[in-house]
Amino acid sequence: MEKKENDLSKLYPTDLLVTGFDIIFFWVARMVLMGKYNTGLEPFKTVYIHGLIRDRFGEKMSKTKGNVVDPLDMIAKYGADALRFGLAVQTVPGSDIKFNEKRIEGYKHFANKIWNASRYVITNLPEGFEVKDPLKTDLKPEDRWILYRLNETIKEVRKGLDSFDFSKSAQALYQFFWDEYCDWYIEFSKERVYKGEGKERESALNTLVYVLDKAIKLLHPFMPFITEEIWNYLPTKDKKSVALSVYPKSKKEFESFKDQAWRVEFVKEIISDLRNFRNVLEIPLSKKLTAYYSTKKAKEILVTFKGLILKLARLETLEEAQTRPENTLVVPFKGGEIYISVKDTINVEEVRQNQLRKREKLLRELQRVEAKLSNPKFVERAPKPIVEKEKAIYEEIKLKLQKIENILKLLES
């Protein structure tokens, strides 16, 4: 009896109860009443009420309907980390989750991205590499940018966790790690990692592993298995498990890097616009382009980051031009224009006529789909999957038409 009383005083009350909204009265309210009646204390301080996981059409899962998803099947197919992260991303306060297997598959790719990025960093570290405080290294503008973005992400993730908005935290981590760390900073770093020497290479590696360490800690509650495995290979490992390490906090010192951050964001926009130009006109990556720029406000930035722009936008040259050269198309940016030479690259008139033919064909198809979706009998009587398929076709056609309009607009420049 004494042991039971000791257990009660040790384990009661708890701090948090997590439950679905469907049992608030049947379970939560009764626990509060019974706990208060028998002990004089509420059984928990906070109740986190989440939505239900439904099928992709919003229907409640049941064996009768045959729409139940076995989580063990999903784990076997995509991994526990992908399933956990996929559910966390969709856990929006006040909403149910429409379970879509495709989204879980997408987060399996995210797990692969984390693994490959970590392998890039770890395999390039010299033996015995010691990670320093980034402020004590020779930081480049792109290093300051990623440290600033890490700092802002830490704030956003902690804010989401503190308010039980797990979707906000998960989305912030996904966007930071995939879009900023992998797609941009790792690409920025490769020239220094593979060809740099001395402090230049050291600062790149130091920033890479410092940010990776913080990102792994931030990701751990959402993806515990892959982060634990990676943690064991990091030179920053200071505990037996990443679960025992201190969760990252923002640093005031990194907030001063905001000025460098906007400069890198500016360069990212230019590189993205140049990549989009190539993609829209279907110019192969193997073909390096000749480019010129005209600007008064951004010349210093273009000169400073010229090497990165040449490499990441696959340009042969990027030189200043007082007037627009012949046989060029215009890629505008804030404060100026970039002129891309299309001589010996594409036949502008041939591309234009080809796009006009594609547009005409798509418009006919769009008319057909619109007629179906505007017919109440079809929408009401057709099976839901068929209606959803037609809606998806409609959206796909709209996207293709928008791409064609972008190409035609570009060719008019």
Task: Residue 304: give its domain's CATH number.
Answer: 3.30.2320.20
pTM of the complete model: 0.82
Which residue segment(s) compose the domain that 66 sits in? 7-97
**How many independent structural domains does the chain possess?**
4
Same domain, 276 and 214: no
Do 202 and 318 fall into the same domain?
Answer: no
Which tokens in the block code for residue 343? 């001589």
- Write the CATH number for 12: 3.40.50.620
Q: Is the pLDDT of residue 5 over 70?
A: no
Residues 98 and 323: their CA atoms lie apart, in Å, by 55
Residues 137 and 243 in one domain: yes
Residue predicted with more confidence, 119 or 92:
119
The CATH code of the domain that includes 105 is: 1.10.730.10
Q: What is the pLDDT of residue 357?
A: 87
Average pLDDT, the chain: 91
For residues 165, 166, 172, 177, the Cα torsion angle rounded to the nearest 10 degrees is: 170
Question: Domain check: are 110 and 246 in the same one?
Answer: yes
Which is more confidently placed, 344 or 376? 376
Q: Which residues contact 68 (CB under 8 A, 6 or more apart)?
A: 61, 62
Which of 250, 282, 304 lies at the terminal end of a domain, its last residue? 250
Is the domain of 287 the same as that of 396? no
- Pick the last residue of a domain from 97, 132, 147: 97
Residues 170 and 221 in one domain: yes
Does 256 fall in a domain? Answer: no
Tell whether 44 is covered by a domain: yes
- Which one is predicted more confidently, 238 or 130? 130
pLDDT in tens, 96-125: 999 999 999 999 999 999 999 999 999 999
Domain co-membership, 231 together with 314: no
